[in-house]
Amino acid sequence: MQICFVRDGTLLCYLRAADPPDILEVMSPAPKKRSRKKKNSAGWLAWWPLILGILVTPFAVRAAGILALTGPTALRMLYPFALLPAEHALGLRDSLADTASQAMMYLQFPLYGLLAMLLQRWKSIGFALLVIAGLHLAGVGALWVLASLAK
């Protein structure tokens, strides 16, 4: 059985089955489906920030050895997260602070690369670099605040 009616000058008809469709389903237009484009990265190319972070690490560790001779301020700019565990305000034992500092010297740049790789999938590489620079500057700022509190 076919049921027809006029709504806003439009003739609408449907076949009556066991249960008639809801009137709103018949009258509302079908929702448009958006195609969501997924960034398709080619294999190892998606991992380049992490690989770069791993490759930079030995040079940064060597630079840290040279910068340590100039004083603590220069080393704070390069390795803020390696120096944070050694701050006495955090209350870590010396052995744990030394181990964490040593680990962060080797992990800081690969972690930056991992963060860049993950953020690059979500946003652009520029956004990822901006987030990493902000994170690095937040670490430098935290060291500066802790050093000024200790005085």
pLDDT, mean of each 10-residue run, the chain (151 residues): 73 64 58 59 75 90 86 83 83 86 90 91 90 94 87 72
**CA distances in angstroms from 36 to 40, 124, 128, listed in the order given:** 12, 16, 21
pTM for the whole structure: 0.65
Neighbours of 99 (CB within 10 A): 13
**Residue 5: predicted pLDDT:** 73
**Residue 6: predicted pLDDT:** 78
